[in-house]
Amino acid sequence: GVASVSDYEKLGVLGHGNGGTVQKVRRRKQLQQNSSTETVYALKLIHLSDQSDPVIRRQITREIAVLQTASDSPHIVKLHSLLSTARYSSIPALLLEYMNAGTLSSILNRHRKLPPKTLPWVANQVLYGLSYLHSHRIVHRDIKPSNLLLNTSGDIKISDFGVSRIMRRSLDPCDSYVGTCAYMSPERFDPDTYGAKYDGYAADVWSLGLTVMELFLGHFPLVREGERPDWASLMCAICIGDSPSLPESAGEDLRGFVDCCLKKEAGERWSVEKLLEHPFVKGDHLADSQIAFKDLLAIPLQI
């Protein structure tokens, strides 16, 4: 029959998000074909209230199945399979590749900011992930530090594509959205032009630009340090005035890269393919950047 969440044993909670809980799991001993290869996974259980619309439910299941066919890249957190949750809901749980070193958001919590030397590697890896998704006609729509997962080999992989977006359709946009809206591009706030005029790929590039800025600065670039923005002030910061930019101390390549990602007009923003040719993410310094990033992961938590 269909594999079920009950075939897996829970080893602990990895985290909670807006739409679900993620647990560390492994296949139950008696079900393991070869007990010497014990694989650990991350199991994402999607929470939907019972009353939710059957149309939305069917759509989620269908879109998850599509995504299942498009996670075959070393730069994307692999979706191994869908598990039935029969007793709890009609929405399957996602059995994901386990990433053992947290997220870029947890790195920010630990180190406050990332050493500038590590950023070319981070941007390069995310660009490869986006390049894969975009070539499969998938727009992620939720690129941000907590959706960029890490392992101790120094890999940075994109997770949560599409799924979070579908789930949130049923939520109140003004509350739970704020975290995600923070990384939304200006054109996405304009329902008339978005969709009609843009294919959406440029929105992921905007979010990448903001993410790289945040990793460098140690705080979200569109609000003052320590401030918790509301929906209205965020929207103003994104849509009115110039795009944010980095100080000269960031260096020419990093500043230039961020500027190319944060062109206000979606049509002027660089594509992922073009950004992969930018000197910031290309050349001899990339290998050093990768080593610096791996070293950062090895630094133990300081309390």
Burial class (CB in 10 A: 0-12, 13-18, 19+), 294: middle
Nearest residue by C-beta to Mg ion? Answer: 160
Tokens matching residue 25: 């799991």
Q: How far apart are CA 77 and CA 258, in angstroms?
A: 25
Tokens matching residue 220: 């979200």
Cα R_g (the chain), whole angstroms = 20
Element spanning 239, H or E: helix 231-239
Q: Does 147 bind Mg ion (CB under 5 A)?
A: yes
Residue 23's binding partner out of ligand ATP, Mg ion, none, with CB under 5 to 8 Å set by partner kind:
none
CB of 15 to ligand ATP, least distance (A): 2
CB of 168 to Mg ion, least distance (A): 11
Return the amino acid letter for 150.
L
CB contact at 8 A, 163 and 94? yes
Q: How many residues does the chain have?
A: 303
Which residue among 142, 155, 160, 204 is the active-site one?
142
Task: State which of residues 17, 102, 116, 244 lies at the interface with Mg ion (CB under 5 A).
Answer: 17
Nearer to Mg ion, 16 or 28 (CB): 16
Reply yes or no on whether 142 is catalytic. yes
CB of 45 to ligand ATP, least distance (A): 9
CB of 268 to ligand ATP, least distance (A): 28
β strands within 50-136, DSSP E: 79-83, 93-97
Which parts of this chain interact with ligand ATP (CB under 6 A)? 14-20, 22, 42, 77, 96-99, 102-103, 146-147, 149, 159-160, 164, 179-180
Nearer to Mg ion, 27 or 177 (CB): 177
Burial class (CB in 10 A: 0-12, 13-18, 19+), 20: buried
> Is 44 marked as binding a ligand?
yes
Which residues in 152-211 contact Mg ion (CB under 5 A)? 160
Binding residue positions for ATP: 44
Interface positions with Mg ion (CB under 5 A): 17, 147, 160
Catalytic residue list: 142
